[in-house]
């Protein structure tokens, strides 16, 4: 049995930033690391080619009557910028107290290594355990998984054999409390464009006279929520499934006060950032654009095959 901590540190050292074209070596290193590790445990490993980064598909086959679990993870990480804010090197894992610091230690290399180590220990102690195991590990999760849909279509028959999918890419409220996340909200992305004049204008001549697209866009965005945080779009909640009483009881066990949420999220406010695109300087821009996203709640989105359902 390998040392999980040392293996995790080795894993973190690969700067596998999927969105950075300059990090190709780090991506290859991380993919090879996982492929070799799973191969050493006796898995049949396939590095599935995609237009960007390979998807690792590793199988422990067996009797078709055995239960079959798919374990999902990803080997790519978010960019580490700005590097000057790191107290330790981003891709040189550092142990402080009982924590390992490094980009990807929590998302998702640490949880993925935990799963691989658990399977390794299981197979070491019970080499003949009647269980089929498939690891499905992608390298594009942090960039929206653009290659995943085609992969799922191609491997649909093999994946349909699974009894369930297990992943550890969520969060725990604290070190003493384990939770099982039964579902996550989906995501819908859309761009909002506001156009004013035919071209950029001088702010000294036209500012305050004509409507500034940036100001108009800011007012639109500000109107999307009520002061108490609810979505201010007519009909938005009409088809949303209600929370069951047993779910509310389970949520109470989290101790869901504001301070608790802040500890989980590490932010003072649970807000999504909006990105603005405009001309810098003193110009009065002709247009403004904002990229928005909304979470799909249970009961909303993709009904009757309409991906626009619920986006108004």
Domains in the chain, ordered, with CATH?
4-167 (3.40.630.10), 186-305 (3.30.70.360)
The pLDDT assigned to 163 comes to 97
| Omega before 82 within 30 of 0, i.e. cis | yes
Q: Rounded mean pLDDT of 227-240?
A: 87
Confidence category of residue 292, pLDDT binned at 50, 70, 90: low
- Residue with the bigger pLDDT between 76 and 257: it is 76
Question: Taking the CB of residue 156, how many other CB atoms lie within 10 A of it?
Answer: 9
Least confident of 123-137, 141-155, 162-176: 162-176
The pLDDT assigned to 254 comes to 72
142, two tokens: 């942090």
**What is the pTM for the complete model shown?**
0.74
Confidence category of residue 307, pLDDT binned at 50, 70, 90: very low
Q: Rounded mean pLDDT of 46-72?
A: 97
Q: Which residues of 40-76 are buried (b: 16+ CB within 10 A; e: fewer)?
A: ebebebebeebebbbbbbbbbeeeeeeebbbbbbbbb
d(CA 85, CA 45): 38
Tell me, rounded to whole angstroms, the distance of Cα 64 from its chain centroid: 32
- Residue with the bigger pLDDT between 159 and 253: it is 159
SS3 content of the chain, % helix, strand, coil (to 5): 30, 20, 45
Q: Rounded mean pLDDT of 46-60?
A: 97
Confidence category of residue 287, pLDDT binned at 50, 70, 90: low
Q: Which residues of 161-197 are buried (b: 16+ CB within 10 A; e: fewer)?
A: ebeeeebbeeeebeeeeeeeeeeeeeebeeeeebebe
Least confident of 54-68, 122-136, 191-205: 191-205
Is the pLDDT score of 274 beyond 70? no
d(CA 230, CA 296): 14
Is the pLDDT score of 256 beyond 70? no
């Amino acid at each position: 049995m390998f040392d999980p901590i040392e293996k995790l540190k080795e894993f973190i050292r690969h700067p596998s930033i999927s969105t950075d074209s300059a990090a190709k070596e780090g991506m290859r290193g991380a993919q090879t690391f996982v492929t070799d590790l799973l191969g050493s445990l006796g898995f049949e490993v396939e590095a599935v080619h995609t237009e960007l980064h390979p998807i690792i598909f590793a199988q422990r086959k067996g009797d078709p009557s055995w239960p079959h679990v798919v374990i999902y993870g990803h080997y790519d990480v978010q960019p580490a910028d700005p590097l000057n804010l790191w107290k330790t090197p981003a891709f040189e894992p550092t142990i402080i107290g009982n924590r390992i610091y490094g980009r990807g230690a929590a998302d998702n290399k640490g949880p993925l290594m935990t799963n691989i180590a658990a399977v390794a220990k299981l197979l070491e102690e019970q080499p003949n355990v009647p269980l089929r195991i498939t690891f499905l590990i992608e390298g594009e999760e942090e960039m929206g998984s653009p290659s995943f849909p085609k992969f799922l279509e191609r491997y649909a028959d093999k994946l349909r054999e699974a009894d369930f999918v297990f992943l550890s890419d969520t969060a725990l409220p604290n070190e003493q409390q384990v939770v099982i996340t039964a579902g996550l909200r989906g995501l819908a992305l859309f761009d909002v464009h506001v156009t004013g004049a035919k071209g950029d204008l001088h702010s000294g001549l036209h500012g305050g006279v004509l409507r500034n697209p940036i100001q108009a866009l800011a007012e639109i965005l500000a109107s999307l929520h009520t002061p108490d945080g609810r979505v201010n779009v007519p009909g938005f909640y009409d088809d949303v499934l209600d929370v069951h009483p047993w779910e509310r009881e389970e949520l109470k066990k989290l101790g869901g006060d504001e301070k608790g949420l802040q500890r989980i999220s590490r932010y003072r406010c649970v807000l999504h950032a909006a990105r603005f695109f405009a001309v810098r300087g003193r110009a009065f821009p002709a247009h403004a654009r904002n990229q928005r996203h909304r979470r799909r709640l249970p009961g909303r989105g993709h009904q009757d095959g309409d991906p626009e359902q619920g986006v108004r």
